[in-house]
Amino acid sequence: MTENPKALKIFSPTRIAITILIGLGAASYLVAKDFDIKHFENISWSWNSTLWILIAILMIAIRDLAYMVRIRILTEGKISWRHSFDTIMLWEFASAITPSVVGGSGVAIYIVNKEGISLGRSTAVVLSSAFLDELFYIIMVPIIILCVGVSNLFPIEMQKEVFGVVLGTKGIFIGGYCFILFLTSFISYAIFFQPRGFKWILLRIFKLPFLKKWRASAAATGDEIIVTSKELRHKPVSFWLKAFAATFASWTARFWVVNFIILAFISVDNHLLVYARQLVMWVIMLISPTPGGTGIAEIAFEGFLEDFIPLGLAATLALIWRFISYYPYLFIGAIILPRWIKRTHSTKKD
């Protein structure tokens, strides 16, 4: 593969600094806005608090371990455990410093390819990872709604204009879910049944005058789907079951982090509702224009979970949540990156 300086530019110190400043600025504002010393006087740090925080950190480790298992499944063991760790950390690093609406998929393909995986297989690995993530969400949302209902899912009212239509929180969630369902179904059909037909449809759509400037990108996407289809369409059911099991473990651990952080300070009666609210939060963060959803994530945490947290503590717990589940990837990625560049660029990869 030819070198791709654009893929490495995303890891610039400026991007990292801006990301950290946005996140800390938003968190500091929220903490200062609701700060009242009386709210903290009734909270005491105990061995119980330490235990639950350690379990929350353990969930982060399980989340990343499950991602490592998944990438080894998708590459059929061609990336070692040690290099899987580097790959996942840099993948998370890229996601943390790019806007959620953009994502780090292009950089992820580059990272996997530099680990010695062919470009076609690297594309398949990244696209199938995204497919499995969306599939988890598509399956879990109706299950959780059946368990907790809809009436308690939307504690705050947010508004966003989409194609000239103003949507509230429920509308954003339903629209986001339907979009994810449609896109995942469409891409699944393209990968497993009609990859060339998918590319043909894309090119037809992007012949429209107001979409013409993105036609080259659409053609590239079509090519990626064709390559991915060749790599994946004949995989056995067991391959997909193992990959989805790893995906399920990773996302479940990711959401449980918040439950355990809250448990460190407050007794929670309805953990399933906390989990359900996070499913809604995830859609809100998905449309965030900020790197890694930073700033938006802290605000969403306070709005969606303040029912379970004493007045004035929501912002503080949001800050703890981001400090253990988001910021570590910025620092770990910055440490790993120079060594990874030296290792992967010293010899020519396929």
Q: What is the pLDDT of residue 349?
A: 44
- 98 pLDDT tier (thresholds 50, 70, 90): confident
Of the listed ranges 45-54, 155-164, 282-291, the one predicted with least confidence: 155-164
Q: What is the pLDDT of residue 250?
A: 96
Residue 4 scores a pLDDT above 90:
no
Neighbours of 316 (CB within 10 A): 20
Quick one: CA torsion of 296, 301, 303, 305, rounded to 10 degrees?
Answer: 170
- 1 pLDDT tier (thresholds 50, 70, 90): very low
- Residue range 201-218, pLDDT digits in tens: 878 888 877 677 778 877
The structure's pTM equals: 0.83
- Residue range 237-296, pLDDT digits in tens: 999 999 999 999 999 999 999 999 999 888 888 889 999 999 888 887 776 666 666 667
Residue 38 scores a pLDDT above 70:
no
CB 34 within 8 Å of CB 298 = no
Residue 54 scores a pLDDT above 80:
yes
Max mean pLDDT range (21-25, 30-34, 103-107, 117-121):
117-121
CB 123 within 8 Å of CB 99 = no
Residue 222: which of 180, 194, 183 has the closest Cα? 194
Q: How far apart are CA 18 and CA 13, in angstroms?
A: 9
Residue 64: which of 249, 256, 298, 258 has the closest Cα? 249
In this prediction, residues 148-177 reach a mean pLDDT of: 73
Q: How far apart are CA 144 and CA 123, in angstroms?
A: 32
Residue 318: which of 23, 62, 97, 48 has the closest Cα? 23
3-state secondary structure of 207: coil
Q: What is the pLDDT of residue 74?
A: 93
Q: What is the pLDDT of residue 295?
A: 64
- Extract the tokens encoding 280: 């809604």
Of the listed ranges 6-10, 166-170, 239-243, the one predicted with least confidence: 6-10
- 31 pLDDT tier (thresholds 50, 70, 90): low
Q: What is the pLDDT of residue 350?
A: 42
More reliable by pLDDT, 2 or 116? 116
